[in-house]
Amino acid sequence: MLIPLLTLFLVASIVWLAIAVQGRKETALLALNGCWWLGALISAYFVWFAWQERAYSENWAAIGFLFCSIPYILIAGAMASVELFCIRNWQGGKTRPIKWTAAGLIVFLLSQMIAGIISA
């Protein structure tokens, strides 16, 4: 069940990102970043839960981190990096918030990865 959801997420993100970058649609990129942030917050729940359960010998919460958080962190982090690469030379009104939200997302995802690896 997880593989079709991640595939759907990946395809939708790629299409959304390609259309938004191609047409220089800044509002669409901000909305895409918002969707990625929502997913990152859901992923953070699994990381937090794995962190809370790290003291037990049978760390079942690590399964949520391994199968839910890690794939999302890798996909969303790669997509945000591609977004930053594609818009690096843009100048304009909403470009700065787009860059800040994407960079903040990458930092947040990296912190989740570090916390999850330490707890697992």
In a domain, 15, yes or no: no
Query: What pTM did the predictor assign?
Result: 0.89
Residue 63: its pLDDT value, please?
A: 87
In a domain, 10, yes or no: no
On whether the CB atoms of residues 9 and 75 are closer than 8 A, the answer is yes
Residue 62 is which amino acid? A
Total of domains in the chain: 1
State yes or no: pLDDT of 37 exceeds 80.
Answer: yes
Q: Largest alpha-carbon pair distance within the chain?
A: 53
In a domain, 74, yes or no: yes
In a domain, 5, yes or no: no
Average pLDDT of the chain, as a whole number: 91
User: What is the domain range of residue 48?
Assistant: 25-119
In a domain, 32, yes or no: yes
State yes or no: pLDDT of 82 exceeds 80.
Answer: yes
Q: How far is CA 65 from CA 3, 8, 54, 118, in A?
A: 15, 20, 12, 11
State yes or no: pLDDT of 100 exceeds 90.
Answer: yes
In a domain, 59, yes or no: yes
Question: Binning pLDDT at 50, 70 and 90, where does residue 106 land?
Answer: very high
In a domain, 8, yes or no: no
Mean pLDDT of 64-79: 92
In a domain, 12, yes or no: no
Return the SS3 of 38. helix
Residue 34: its pLDDT value, please?
A: 94
Looking at per-residue confidence, does 31 or 94 come out higher?
31
Mean pLDDT of 33-42: 95
Residue 2: its pLDDT value, please?
A: 73
Q: Which residues contact 59 (CB under 8 A, 6 or more apart)?
A: 50, 53, 119, 120
On whether the CB atoms of residues 110 and 77 are closer than 8 A, the answer is yes
